[in-house]
Amino acid sequence: MSQAAVDALMLPPPLLAAEGVRLGYATGRRGWFRPAPRFLAVDGVSLTLSRGETLGIVGESGCGKSSLARLLVGLAAPEAGVVRFEGTAMPAPDSAAWRALRTRLQMVFQDTGAALDPRLTVRTQVREPLLIHRQPDPEARCDEVLAQVRLGAHLWDRFPRELSGGQVQRVVIARALAPRPDLLVLDEPVSALDVSIQAQIVNLLHDLQRDLGLAYVFVSHDLGVVRHVAHRVAVMYLGRIVELAPKAELFARPRHPYTQALLASVPVADPARRGARVAIPGDPPSPQHPPSGCRFHPRCPLAVPRCAAEAPALRALGATDVACHRAGEPGLPSLAAMLSGPRPAMAPMSVREPA
């Protein structure tokens, strides 16, 4: 047995690990003589997350990041691969073991405005997970978390409609925190909020992580926000992770052409640099009919014939894991450099979600 293997046995398992998970959806009705058409929203994703760490997952709308979030929190069962929480495979959704595990893993959904029952007060809803899991002293715990998310006590008996977007988000976070979870999966937690409120929530998440040792999976289309919260960042394109790197590394030295394009297309507040946004040629292909080989190759200016034939696996390149045949080639031009400058009319790549 090699030393590395012995180390692997001795080390505690990561808090959360996904091993080659895959999740597909039917996209139409089953015919009498043909199966329902399907597409893979998540196609063979592996990653790990340590206690107290924040993993950012970024990508365009439809890249499968929300589906990945559902897999990681256990709301969906992967059709291939496995998600492990503290080394144990995630139980099947809706089983008793799965329900019990909900106290350890919590999710904050996209569209927080709809996440609260319009008929119940803040306090009732924050107390709910405690009642569901029959935890002791729900009243006190409820008050405690509401104070932790810094929601004014005068709002605790209000209804959701009487709160602002930011306040609702604090309630949703408080409800998720109430059963003392170790991991929070946040799906676009701030994208519906004003920028100033976004900063408040991001800071709150930061403080909660520091005080409680929480781990986060932070799903967003907004690289700017991810940059503020994540320790590591995974970039997804059409159901696959194309690059996974520590935050500083990813922003300083993006290795995958798609990551480079994403970074270059982030809107910049500096007026002097306005107009320097670059565009990736072509539209994102339909997830129902993904391209062969590297899924980015039809839009990639660096593509070579091998890219269409063979899907690249994630490989280590310094501190970065990247899935690109050409990444790391000496003298390879940066994509942003290739794309900037006057070009024929092309749609700028949108990283904004549709409203």
Distance CA 304, CA 302 (A): 7
Binding mask 40-79 for another protein (x = CB under 8 A): ---------------------------------x-x----
Residues 170, 175, 178, 182, CA torsion sign:
negative
Is residue 187 within 8 A of residue 130, CB to CB? The reply is: no
Q: Of 102 and 180, which has the nearer Cβ to another protein?
A: 102
Site for another protein in 184-223 (CB under 8 A): 192
30's tokens: 């089953």
Shortest Å distance, C-beta 135 to another protein:
11
Shortest Å distance, C-beta 186 to another protein:
12
Distance CA 346, CA 338 (A): 14
Shortest Å distance, C-beta 178 to another protein:
9
Judged by CB under 8 A, the stretch of 127-135, 246-254, 281-289, 345-353 that binds another protein is: 127-135
Distance CA 212, CA 174 (A): 13
Judged by CB under 8 A, the stretch of 114-122, 253-261, 291-299, 324-332 that binds another protein is: 114-122
E strands, the chain, in order = 16-26, 38-49, 54-58, 80-85, 88-89, 105-108, 183-187, 215-220, 232-237, 240-246, 315-317, 320-322
By the rule CB under 8 A, 250 interacts with another protein: no
By the rule CB under 8 A, 341 interacts with another protein: no
Is residue 171 within 8 A of residue 201, CB to CB? The reply is: no
DSSP alpha helix (H) spans, 44-194: 65-73, 96-101, 122-132, 138-148, 165-177
Q: Of 54 and 169, which has the nearer Cβ to another protein?
A: 169
Distance CA 227, CA 229 (A): 6
Instruction: Single out the residue of 24, 37, 51, 128 in contact with another protein (rule: CB under 8 A).
Output: 128
Helix (H) or strand (E) holding 307: helix 305-309
By the rule CB under 8 A, 133 interacts with another protein: yes
Return the HEC string of 251-284: HHCCCCHHHHHHHHCCCCCCHHHCCCCCCCCCCC
Shortest Å distance, C-beta 329 to another protein:
44
Judged by CB under 8 A, the stretch of 157-165, 194-202, 277-285, 335-343 that binds another protein is: 157-165
By the rule CB under 8 A, 113 interacts with another protein: yes
Q: Of 102 and 277, which has the nearer Cβ to another protein?
A: 102
Shortest Å distance, C-beta 106 to another protein:
7
By the rule CB under 8 A, 102 interacts with another protein: yes
Binding mask 172-191 for another protein (x = CB under 8 A): x--x---x------------
Encode 298-308: b = buried (16+ Cβ within 10 Å), e = exposed.
Answer: bbbebbeeebe
Shortest Å distance, C-beta 103 to another protein:
7
Instruction: Single out the residue of 117, 194, 207, 310 in contact with another protein (rule: CB under 8 A).
Output: 117
Which positions lie near another protein, rule CB under 8 A?
Answer: 73, 75, 98-103, 106-107, 109, 111-119, 128-129, 132-133, 159, 161, 165, 172, 175, 179, 192
